[in-house]
Chain A
Amino acid sequence: MALAPITGILRKRLIFDISAGLGLGLACSYAYWYGVHIPSVRKRDAFYAKLAQEKSQ
């Protein structure tokens, strides 16, 4: 029985793993940034905008 060629497998796997790992990581990072960070900043800014409005009245 002929063996499947075993050259270049590591390189291919490596490139796949690195790009998949970092890609997924980047996706999670951006999910955190837009899902947690940005909303909290928006909430804070809304609070201070409301405060400034109340003060000016």
Chain B
Amino acid sequence: MCFLSNLIWLSSNLCSNDAAQPWQFGFQDGGSPSYEGIVELHDDIMFYLILILVGVAWMLMSTIRKFNWNHNQIVHKYLNHGTVLELIWTISPALVLIAIAFPSFKLLYLLDEVIDPVMTVKAIGNQWYWSYEYSDYLDQEGQSIEFDSYLVPESDLEIGDLRLLEVDNRVVVPVDTHIRFIVTARDVIHSFAVPSLGVKLDCIPGRLNQFSLVINREGVFYGQCSELCGVLHGFMPVVIEAVSLEQYLAWLSDQIPPYLTKEGYTPCIYLCITHLPSVC
């Protein structure tokens, strides 16, 4: 009943969390161009899917109805060969596959592209938490911003917190900024995934994987480790908090000690130069 009412409510008023919610049907609302691309591809494929579903269901029903023994007692006459039919059921799936393959490859190569990112965040999977490094900013000793991000246990949750999704330290990143994420792992394979940003990438010990991300809007985006990594696999969520550039710079300057970029700028000036040349 709950499922049904949710289904009706969701299909009439589609506005989802940036996290999975109980009885959710369909996708979360998107927050990045790659997510929009993925949903676009899904919808494209869904078009053909419905076409095939209805076409095949019709043929099946019609075959059951017209070719049963009661209805047609010389049915065996037709049961051996049909060149036209075979041609149709060979060529039309091929055409459908081609129609699906092209947008699919286009999206695949687009998602793979990391062009000229403004900042880099490194995410490292551990059993069973994530560590993050902002290696663009260094303090006087050459240390970059580093922190661990653990699940908030149920006993510490506050009202409004999402159970098994909230972490103590979120990844804070600015919106509308080209960010490069580099992911890896320290022990076993993990997978860095945030559905509403269209992100899922394996973190493999000894290897670096990368993806680029532009977040379209402010918000808190939740995800979970998506590669079975041990007993607490389900208890190492990812939380990305997208904030405005000003708030991001405030967050950066809250990280003590004071950090400079590799070029020796303060993060504020550096981001200004790279991100807002029109303002500087």
User: Which A residues are within 8 Å of any B CB, using their own CB?
Assistant: 6, 10-11, 13-14, 17-18, 20-22, 24-26, 28-29, 32-33, 36-37, 40, 43-44, 48, 51
Note all chain A residues with C-beta closer than 8 A to B30.
Answer: 44
Q: Taking chain B's interface residues, is the majority helix, strand, or loop, or is none over half, making it mixed?
A: helix
| Residue from B14, B51, B74, B84 in contact with A40 in the complex, judged by beta carbons closer than 8 Å | B14
Known: A14-B82, A18-B88. A25 touches B216 (CB 8 A): no
Known: A17-B58, A25-B58. A10 touches B78 (CB 8 A): yes
Residue B227 at the A interface, CB < 8 A?
no
In Å, the complex CA distance between A6 and B73 comes to 12
Cβ–Cβ contact B55 & A21, under 8 A: yes
In the complex, chain B residues 46-100 whose Cβ is within 8 Å of any chain A Cβ: 46-48, 50-59, 62, 66, 74, 78, 82, 84-85, 88
User: Which B residues are within 8 Å of any A CB, using their own CB?
Assistant: 14, 29-30, 36, 43, 46-48, 50-59, 62, 66, 74, 78, 82, 84-85, 88, 216-217
Minimum CB–CB distance from B230 to chain A (whole Å) comes to: 38
Note all chain A residues with C-beta closer than 8 A to B82.
Answer: 10, 14
In Å, the complex CA distance between A21 and B54 comes to 6
In Å, the complex CA distance between A11 and B55 comes to 17
Can you name 11 extra interface pairs (CB under 8 A) apart from A21-B57, A25-B51, A26-B51? A6-B74, A14-B84, A17-B59, A18-B59, A21-B54, A22-B51, A37-B46, A40-B14, A44-B30, A44-B36, A48-B216
Note all chain A residues with C-beta closer than 8 A to B57.
Answer: 21
| Residue from B51, B85, B88, B216 in contact with A29 in the complex, judged by beta carbons closer than 8 Å | B51
Note all chain B residues with C-beta closer than 8 A to A21.
Answer: 54-59, 62
In Å, the complex CA distance between A28 and B55 comes to 10
| Residue from B55, B84, B216 in contact with A22 in the complex, judged by beta carbons closer than 8 Å | B55
Note all chain B residues with C-beta closer than 8 A to A37.
Answer: 43, 46-47
Minimum CB–CB distance from B16 to chain A (whole Å) comes to: 11
Cβ–Cβ contact A24 & B58, under 8 A: yes
Minimum CB–CB distance from A53 to chain B (whole Å) comes to: 13
Known: A44-B30, A51-B217. A33 touches B55 (CB 8 A): no
In the complex formed, the residue of B with least CB distance to A17 is B62
7 inter-chain pairs at a CB distance below 8 angstroms, sorted by A residue, are A21-B54, A21-B56, A21-B58, A21-B62, A28-B50, A36-B43, A44-B36
